[in-house]
Amino acid sequence: MSEARTLDATLPVHGQGRIGTPWWGMLCLIATEGILFAYLIFAYAYLGSQGAGDWPPGGAPALKLALPATVLLVGSSFVLEWGKRAARAGRLAHSRWAVGITLLMGAAFAALEFREWTNKPFSLSSDSYGSIYFLLTGTHLAHVVIGLIGLAVMFAWGLAGKLGQGHEQHRALITLYWHFVDVVWLFVFVTVYLSPRLT
Amino acid sequence: MATIASDLPRDGVVADRGTLAPASPNPPDLAARLEDIWKETPGVRGWFSTVDHKVIGIRYMITAFVFLLVGGLEALTMRVQLAQPDARVLTPEQYNQLFSMHGVTMIFLYALPMLSGFSNYLWPLLLGSRDMAFPRLNALSYWLFLAAGVFLYISFPLGAAPDGGWFDYVPNAGREYSPGPNIDVYALGLIFLGISTTVGSANFVVTLLRMRAPGLSINRLPIIVWGTLTASVANLFAVPAVSLACLMLWLDRNYGTNFFHVQGGGQPLLWQHLFWMFGHPWVYAIVLPAMGLVSDALPVHCRRPLVGYTPVAMGTVFTMVIGFGVWLHHMFASGIPVLALSFFSAASFIITIPSAIAVFAWIATIHTGRVKFTVPFLYFAGFVLLFVMGGVSGILTASLALDWQLTDTYFVVAHLHYVLLGINVFPVIGAIYHWFPKMTGRMLPERLGRWTFATMFIGFNLAFFPMHWLGLTGMPRRVWTYGAQMGWGTANLIVSIGAFLFALGFVLFLLNLWQGLRRGAIAGPNPWDAPTLEWSMSSPPPLYNYAVIPIVASRHPLWEDRLDEVGDRTTFDRGFLLDNGKETLGVSPLDGEPAVILKMPQDSLLPVSLAIALLVLFCALLVHQALLAGIALLALLVVLVMWFQPHPSPIESERVRMYE
Amino acid sequence: MKLRRALLIGLPVLLAGCTRRPMGYLEGAAGPASIPVQRLGNGFVAIACAVVLIILAMLLLAIANGRRATREQGGVVRSGTHGLAWIYWGIGVSTPVLVAMTLWNFVVTREVSAAPAYLPVDVEITAHRWWWEMRYRATPASDMITTANELVIPTGAPVRLRLTSADVIHDFWVPKLGPKMDMEPGQWNTTWLEADRPGVYFGQCAEYCGLEHAKMGLRVVALGPAQYAAWQRGMRQPAPASATRGAQVFIASCSGCHTVRGTDAGGILGPDLTHVASRGTLAAGLLPNTPAGRLRWLSATQQVKPGAQMPQVALDQADLAAVAGYLGSLR
């Protein structure tokens, strides 16, 4: 006669704090957003190759602000990764610091981007280069801003004591997303700032 | 074990089905406990907050079907105008809005959502799970679909429906030549709908990877799962192209950007590239799951497993992969160098081969099986013929030189309707007959069903076959009228008559549904004596699907005894019980080994709230209200923060609850 | 004059009546850019019909066999045998046929897309929202011919077409003479065609271009060499000076959009009307170019072609008739 029983054996429980299906969901998000940037870079290349005249029309964009911005963003990924591992090892205060520092570095990246934007001699509507430059960097910046909001919320939850050691999943997701934003920036950087210098 | 007399009475009314016991056990004490755990919130709040995949799946299907009928009415109106040369039933402006919305409705608001609905309903049942991986996200994908459909359709009564075709080529769709809000509705609406598609696709992919019964390895998955998985992966990679194109179009129209605007250095063909990079994979996404439905249901009515499971599954994947490499065949006449176009022409020929595998598999299954002329069988057999007809007209359009005559004529209209109606609608209707008993516990009427099939099949061919001839004699597409001297009048009249006959078929189908719901015979757990897991439980299934998670041993769990397969049998009466709250099992991706317990969320109003916030956002963007858009974004943020609230006390592991 | 007018108006009417399917391309193809495709098209259609009939036969045979099995064995569930052979044979037979079709397609594509080395006639065609502007290149530049909606070409000579658009994407398509080619703003797409025999060939815009895409028709008139030369000479003449009431009203009301060389009318928004009476049709293939047709176009413009860029001109009946008469004199 069959009956319900509770075994002594256990299975891990995911989906409440440990890494579970949402991590795979984040991978799907990264796949779809990543290909979005591939299409953006395709559009950049298409407009450049099909149009008449130089591309970029004003010559390669300066690295003066973009290079430090890149260093900041890449560096912030290392910081956040370190923080995630610190939390796993139980050092929650360190992980909170890591989130805060990442937030600041990311915000600095955004500030440098804005500065670069305002310095440009062209605008969104000047010509096709202006349009694709601002859309490509702007789409990336929007993803950065979304990440910053996520980090800010994480920071607030951390201060409020809502994130314990068992909340590995939240940290894993935001870290994965932030790495994605970082890697995408490298592609954008190579496309916009380095590729004109190669030809 | 439950077996049913394998001969179905001719009239489809079977006695005593309701008393037969389902294969999957559901004893009263377990049922009571699980019902209490999985119970739905009652009332209006429950209606808006449900996360049950079965409810969401049926909602998807009903909503998609409503859009199908609306799109059909649009088509009938066009056919009245086109029945005679030089007719003035419609103005050109009205006609252009109608044909544009007909395309948008059918391709975006019917075709994929209907298949998403089937998959949403069936997947957890087929996979031996209690729900999808992300139940709240599932609800969200439905609410977003509904909201986007509403957004696109509010434009109609305002006389501002998109009128640039479903494909909206620039510069015609640019601000200069389409000054009204019509194309803005289109661009924003497609971006909106794209969010629903993306979210739904991610849900399917993750569900397949993690949420299966033990033993359900990757080579035991039903073909519908292969089809929807392929389509979902493809959508993750294809939808961003059209979202980007629409964003660029909206920016060009409203903020003076120059992506497509020639005077500013833009490239009109960029729109076409991005659109078709999405568009071609999309048309495979809206037929491969339907082919999967046939591959799973047809064998039941042939009383044997599908011939060539592996070739068919691989063919599904290969078709989609090649499908990413043919998009330029929509642009053969655009002046791109012939060498480049030739590669895409060759790929368009080659893509026939993996599709043909499935055709021969189905014919072989029929030939080597024991055929029952049930209504689903009629639809599936008819579908095979329509598939081949659509496929060969596709081969003609794959030819670069011939396509230079065929493209933009009614030949392509014939081809696309044979493939889209033939490979999506006919299988869907057949699948509804097949799975209606499972969803509602009642059978659909057999005799009326046969008349309905005959009406639809004859009406469809009468409506669309003459279009091949119209295209070969040069009738262009997207024309609101044509001259009498062209010689197209008679054929167009036949087409219009056929269209109305086909529509009558749908009226009969609605009558079928009504009769089935009101006085259909009680179905019982397995009225067709089918092999897969969803037929192992009561009809309709319990809220929690499985009281005991089965342990799967083959592709055909309920036929194992009769197929003489050497090896283990699927176990239904012992397995994971998992009744410590709303739980289901997570497994390893390839082999289906039990790995984790996954906690499922309670009913929630967050999905519908998110959808409403996005609807407000898109409306604000449409009418350029920055403040309203800002408020909507803020609301969005609040909902997302609530959605991802950390659990106050997460547990690391749990003692397993079994039934044995 | 009279003979030419008779030919140029009578011919299209006559031949249009003769051709029951003026836009069909599987019969009546009349040039080296279209005849190979006609053969290919007929061949592919035959193969397609054969494939469908064979698969239909297989399907019916399969159903019959399946029904027989049911009668003999009931609805028993059993794994079948030899099923996979269907797939192997099916793919095995289909693939060579497919490959052969692909190769044939490539042969014809090369044949049709490669323009001959020497093209004596060179025409720039600019598509507008819902009419066609044609400029025949020539040296000296004074020999250039500008016309609209009707492309006159000599038989037996390949014609280069340089295609662009002044607004949205259109598509040049004359099925019996050659393949389609899109006409895109800011870009020149080049194609070619040739007519083997004299006649009037119908065409139509084949890319959705807005409100009146349906009414953007086209005529290609192929003339024998001597007649073509005579046509050229006539087209190069400016319009004769005229002091009729019709001419005066035309200058006053129509010259803002239309050009008649030899008069003060120099507008470039609409078709060139210098030799409008020599064309077979009006309004891009919509109306016959007869006195009645001209009057109808002038007096009911927006009824004939709702949304056309030409507004309904506000003139009384007498003036409309006068202008129609004047236009009739512009041969």
Describe chain C by its helix, strand, coil percentages, rounded to 5: 45, 20, 40
Closest by CA to C198, choosing from C1, C6, C8, is C8
Q: Do A10 and B653 touch (CB under 8 A)?
A: yes
**Residue B200 belongs to a domain with what CATH number?**
1.20.210.10
Cis peptide before B171 (omega within 30 of 0): yes
Residues 6+ apart with CB under 8 A from A142: none
CA angle B649, B651, B655 (to 5 degrees): 145
Q: Do the domain assignments include residue C20?
A: no
The predicted pLDDT at position B589 comes to 85
CB contact under 8 A, C306 and B366: no
Residues of B in contact with C16 (CB under 8 A): 485
- Domain boundaries, position C71: 35-113
What lies within 8 Å, CB to CB, of B440 at 6+ separation is B516, B517, B520, B523, B539, B540
Q: Is any Cβ of chain B less than 8 angstroms from the Cβ of C115?
A: no
Q: A24 and B658 in contact by Cβ < 8 A?
A: no
Strand ordering across the sheet containing C145-148: C145-148, C131-136, C121-128, C159-165, C189-193
Cβ separation B405–C37 shorter than 8 A: yes
Torsion of CA A101, A105, A111, A113, to 10 degrees: -160
pLDDT at B1: 32
Q: Does residue C42 fall inside a structural domain?
A: yes
Which among C78, C98, C102 is the nearest to B304, CB-wise? C78
Range of the domain at B228: 28-519
CB contact under 8 A, B303 and C108: no
Q: Which residues of C are less than 8 Å from B563 in CB distance?
A: 77-79
Query: Residue A33's closest chain B neighbor by CA?
Result: B240
Answer whether A4 sits within 8 Å of B30, measured CB to CB: yes
pLDDT at B425: 97
> Per residue in B78-122, pLDDT tens?
999 999 999 999 999 999 999 999 999 999 999 999 999 999 999
* Both structure tokens of B325: 């490499």
CA-nearest residue to A135 within chain B is: B248
| B410: CB partners within 8 A, 6+ apart | B467, B468, B470, B471, B475, B476, B477
Q: Answer whether C25 sits within 8 Å of B482, measured CB to CB.
A: no
Mean pLDDT of B134-158: 95
* pTM (global) more than 0.90: yes
pLDDT at site C19: 64
Closest by alpha carbon to B141, among B110, B117, B108? Answer: B117
Name the architecture of domain A33-42+62-198: Up-down Bundle (1.20)
Assess B347–A contact: CB distance below 8 Å, yes or no. Answer: no
Q: What's the whole-number mean pLDDT along residues B610-624?
A: 97
Contact C84 B308 (CB under 8 A): yes
Q: How confident is the model at residue B17 (pLDDT cuts 50, 70, 90)?
A: very low
Domain count, chain B: 1
- The answer to whether residue B645 is domain-embedded is no
Indicate whether C4 belongs to any domain: no
Q: Please state the separation of Cα B83 from the chain's center in Å.
A: 31
CA distances from C130 to B172, C133, C288, C308 (A): 13, 10, 17, 7
pLDDT band at A5 (very low <50, low <70, confident <90, very high): confident
Of B126-140, B314-328, C14-28, C223-237, which range is least confident?
A: C14-28
Q: Is the pLDDT of residue B13 over 60?
A: no
d(CA B138, nearest CA chain A) in Å: 12
- Give all chains having 3 or more CB-to-CB distances under 8 Å with chain A: B
Q: In this structure, are C89 and C143 located in the same domain?
A: no
Give mean pLDDT, residues B626-645: 97
**How far is it, in rounded angstroms, from Cα B136 to Cα B140?**
6
How close C217 gets to chain B, by Cα (Å)?
10
Pairwise CB contact (< 8 Å): B270 & A47: yes
Please say if the pLDDT value at position B587 is more than 70.
Answer: yes
Does the beta-carbon distance from B650 to A167 stay under 8 Å? yes
**What average pLDDT does chain B have?**
94
Average pLDDT rounded to a whole number, residues C145-165: 96
Query: What mean pLDDT is reported for chain C?
Result: 92
Q: How far apart are CA B449 and CA B439, in angstroms?
A: 18
Mean pLDDT along residues B464-483: 97
Q: Is B236 in contact with A35 (Cβ distance < 8 A)?
A: yes
In a domain, C23, yes or no: no
Check whether residue C197 and residue C252 sit in a common domain: no
The most confident of A14-18, B273-277, C241-245, by mean pLDDT? B273-277
The H or E element spanning position A137 is helix A128-159
Residues constituting chain C: 331
Determine the distance in angstroms separating the CA of B574 from the nearest CA of chain C, rounded to an integer: 26
> Residue C6's pLDDT is what?
52
Q: For residues A47-70, give the mean pLDDT.
A: 92
Residue range B152-175: average pLDDT?
A: 91
B518 CB within 8 Å of a chain A CB: no
Tell whether the model's pLDDT for residue B16 goes beyond 80: no
B314-373 residues touching C, CB cutoff 8 A: 333-335, 338, 342, 345-346, 349-350, 352-353, 356-357, 359-361, 363-373
C20, C36, C206 member nearest B487 (Cβ): C20
Q: A87-96, B536-545, B647-656 — which is least confidently predicted?
A: B647-656
The pLDDT-based confidence of C8 (bands split at 50, 70, 90) is: low
Mutation target among B402, B475, B486 for the C interface, most CBs of C within 10 A: B402
How far, in Å, CA of C256 to CA of C303, rounded? 22
**Domain assignment present for C24:** no
Q: In Å, how far is B209's CA from the nearest CA of chain C?
A: 29
B237/A contact by beta carbon, under 8 A? yes
The answer to the question of residue C8 being in a domain is no
All residues of chain B having their beta carbon less than 8 Å from the beta carbon of residue A53 are: 265
Which residue in A has a C-alpha nearest to residue B204's C-alpha?
Answer: A25
Partners of B389 on chain C (C-beta within 8 Å) are 52
- Residues in a beta bridge with C282: C287
In a mutagenesis test of the C interface, which of B81, B404, B419 is the best target, namely the one with the most C β-carbons within 10 Å? B404
Q: In this structure, is residue B530 part of a structural domain?
A: no
**In CATH, what number is assigned to the domain containing residue C278?**
2.60.40.420
Do the domain assignments include residue B527? no
Partner C, chain B 395-434, Cβ-Cβ below 8 Å: 395-396, 398-402, 404-405, 407-409
Alpha carbon of B604: minimum distance to chain A alpha carbons (Å)? 16
Test mutation, C23, C101, C189, chain B, max B CBs within 10 A: C23
* Contact (CB<8Å) A16/B650: yes
Query: Contacts of residue C306 in chain B, CB cutoff 8 Å?
Result: 91-92
Binned at pLDDT 50, 70 and 90, residue B189 comes out as very high
pLDDT at res. B647: 87
Chain B residues whose beta carbon lies within 8 Å of the beta carbon of residue C108: 399, 401-402
Residues of A with Cβ-Cβ distance to B236 under 8 angstroms:
28, 31-32, 35
Distance CA B506, CA B512 (A): 9
Q: Mutation target for A interface from B278, B579, B598: give the one with most A CBs within 10 A.
A: B598
- pLDDT at site C20: 78
Which pair of tokens denotes residue B143? 């609410």
- What is the Rg, in whole angstroms, of the alpha carbon atoms belonging to chain A? 21
Q: Report how far residue C31's alpha carbon sits from residue C161's, in angstroms, rounded to the nearest whole number.
A: 15
Q: Which residues pair with C223 in a beta bridge?
A: C154
CA dihedral C306, C312, C317, C323 (to 10 degrees): -110
Number of structural domains (chain C) is 3
CB within 8 Å: B476 and C204: yes
Nearest-CA distance B467 → chain C (Å): 13
Residue A2 and residue B574: Cβ atoms within 8 Å? yes
Nearest CA in chain C to B368: C80
DSSP string of C172-222, one letter each residue: E--TTT---EEE-BT--EEEEE--SS-EEEEEE--S--STTGGG-EEEEEE
* Residue C5 confidence (pLDDT): 56
3-class DSSP state of B334: coil
| Residues in B 1-40 with any Cβ partner in A closer than 8 A | 25, 27, 29-30
- pLDDT, residue A38, reads 98
- Nearest CA-CA partner of A152 in B629, B637, B630: B637
Strand segments, DSSP code E, in B404-517 are none
- Quickly count: other Cβ atoms within 10 Å of residue A30's Cβ: 18
Q: Is residue C88 part of a domain?
A: yes
C73 part of a folded domain:
yes
Residue ranges of B 246-285 with Cβ closer than 8 A to chain C = 262-263, 268-269
Q: Does pLDDT of C13 surpass 90?
A: no
| B643 inside 8 A of chain A by CB | no
